[in-house]
Amino acid sequence: MPDGAPPENQPRLIRLRWQSFVDEQSSGEYLALLQSRLQARAQACVAAGCRIEVSVRGMSPPARDWGRVSELRGGVVAVRNAMQAADDGCDVFVIGHFQEPCLAEARAAVDIPVVGLGEATMLWAAQLGRRFGLISVDDVFEVIHLEQAERLNMGDRLVGVRALNATLEEFRRAFADEPGAYQLLKDRFAQAAAELVERGADVVISAGGLHGTLSLGDPDVMLDGTPLVNCVAVGLDWAVMTERLQFTTGLRPSRRAAYRLATAQARDDFRQVLAD
């Protein structure tokens, strides 16, 4: 029995922390829906004899005035919150923001699995087809997505990036279940997907937690034979699988070079910078 296993006949509790880049004040409907959908799906995909508790955390101010500086700030907060999740006894941490800034730093900061939404989804999509396209929330993220694919040595497999260019207000109306609000975004997604398929995409990825949460459970997962991949579904299932592999086999990220584990002093210094 692996270290940390519960007594016989007691379910093993898995604590999953999901880091969102929005806040409760401006996106309360989204966070509530995200929490309920993640919890339901997570419990359905954990191994027999386990139960899972999902906790969603936002950040304030949320990601706004989108661009590199906003992404960096969100990434720094995510690293801090990954350390807090480990201190809280969580078993796996997910950066639930497709651009996943500071993913490598978060992975080097803690000894629990850290999953990035974009990395997990693009790696999974590579099993479904040779070429893929991304549908982002906004055009501002196009170059960031191209750089993500290049870091994974998949730049030549990304045929293009399209964007919903939806406002936060449009998403808010959809999360509030206002009539026609989700269908408007769904139609816009379908148009962008068709453009990517025309460019040669074998797989189309929903590259944003907002749209991924809205469409989680949507039966329309194919477009004329082309898979439409939901990043929230993949990120969550990947996190559950990663935690299970670490628990049952001890597999962890490389601690020699790529993700050398930070010392306690380095973590304290990092926290001090944020406190100043």
Determine contact, residues 14/90, Cβ cutoff 8 Å.
no
The predicted structure's pLDDT at residue 107: 96
- The contacts of residue 270 (CB under 8 Å, 6+ apart) are 79, 80, 83, 109, 262
Q: Could you tell me which of 68, 60, 56, 127 has the C-alpha nearest to residue 95?
A: 56
What sign for the dihedral angle of Cα 182, 59, 83, 3? negative
Q: Quick: pLDDT tens for 27-42.
A: 778 888 888 888 988 9
Q: Which of 248, 235, 250, 233 is nearest to 12 (CA)?
A: 248
Phi and psi dihedrals of 13, rounded to 5? -90, 130
CA distance 19 to 56: 6
What's residue 1's pLDDT? 46
Closest residue by Cα to residue 86 from 132, 19, 144, 181: 19
**Statement: the pTM of the whole predicted model exceeds 0.85:** yes
Give mean pLDDT in consecutive 10-residue pieces for the chain, a chain of 276 residues. Answer: 60 93 80 87 85 90 80 93 96 95 96 96 96 93 94 95 89 88 93 95 93 86 90 95 94 91 94 82
| Cα(162)–Cα(135) distance, integer angstroms | 5
Alpha carbons 193 and 11: distance in angstroms, whole number? 42
Q: Which residues touch 96 (CB under 8 Å, ≥6 apart)?
A: 18, 19, 20, 21, 34, 56, 117, 209, 232, 235
Beta bridge partners of 56: 18
3-state secondary structure of 138: coil
pLDDT at residue 166 in the model: 86
Residue 97's alpha-carbon distances to 59, 65, 151, in angstroms, are: 12, 15, 17
Taken in order of first residue, the domains within the chain and their CATH numbers are: 12-275 (3.40.50.12500)
- Residues 126 and 132 sit within 8 Å (Cβ to Cβ): yes
What percent of the chain is predicted at pLDDT more than 70?
96
